[in-house]
Amino acid sequence: MSETLFMDSIIRPNRSLSAHGRRKLILAFAGLSLIPAAIFMRAGAVPVLIYIAMVVAVVAALRLSARRGETHERVRVSARRIAVSRHAPGEETLVWESATAFTRVTMIDEEFGPGVLKLELSGREIQIARELSRPERLAFARHLKLAMSRATASGA
C-alpha cells in the first residue's frame, strides 16, 4: 500500500530559453560567426582558428547550461517521512530521509540575500530549494511547514 503524500513538489532551475530557442540561438551565433571567419581564413588569417574555437566553446557552454537545466529536486512529505531526492538526466539520488514528526524546517531569511531553507534533524541538515528566488523560497517554506503539520496531525 502506498503512502498518502501531503506534498510532492518538484523544484526545477529557472531557464528563460527553451530547447527550441537555444537551438535557434546556437545556429544563428554559429552561422553569423562562421561568415567572417571564412572570409578571413580565405585571406590567410590563420588566427581565426582561435576564434572558431571560441565559438565552439560558447556552444559547449550553452549545452552544459541546458543539461544543468534538466536537473531537479523533489521533496515528498508523508505522515511517516520526508524524502528529498535530486535528479539528473538518467539518475535519481535520495539525499535526505527523516521522520516527519521530528524534522524541523528552518528558513534563514536574509533581507538582501536569497535566504537559506534547511531541513534539520538530530544535528543533520540539508539545504533545499536552492534554485528558487527569495519570495518563492519563503512561499515554499510556508507550504512545506503546512504539509508537515497536516501530515503529523493525520497520525497515519
pLDDT of 75 strictly over 80: yes
Task: Tell me the CB-side half-sphere exposure of residue 125, using CA atoms within 13 A.
Answer: 10
Instruction: Please give the Cα distance from 40 to 27 (Å, whole number).
Output: 20
Rounded mean pLDDT, 15-27: 77
In whole angstroms, how far apart are CA 100 and each of 5, 53, 71, 113? 12, 52, 25, 28
More reliable by pLDDT, 45 or 28: 28
Model pLDDT for residues 102-155, shown as the tens digit of each residue? 999 998 877 766 778 999 999 999 999 988 888 888 899 999 999 999 999 987
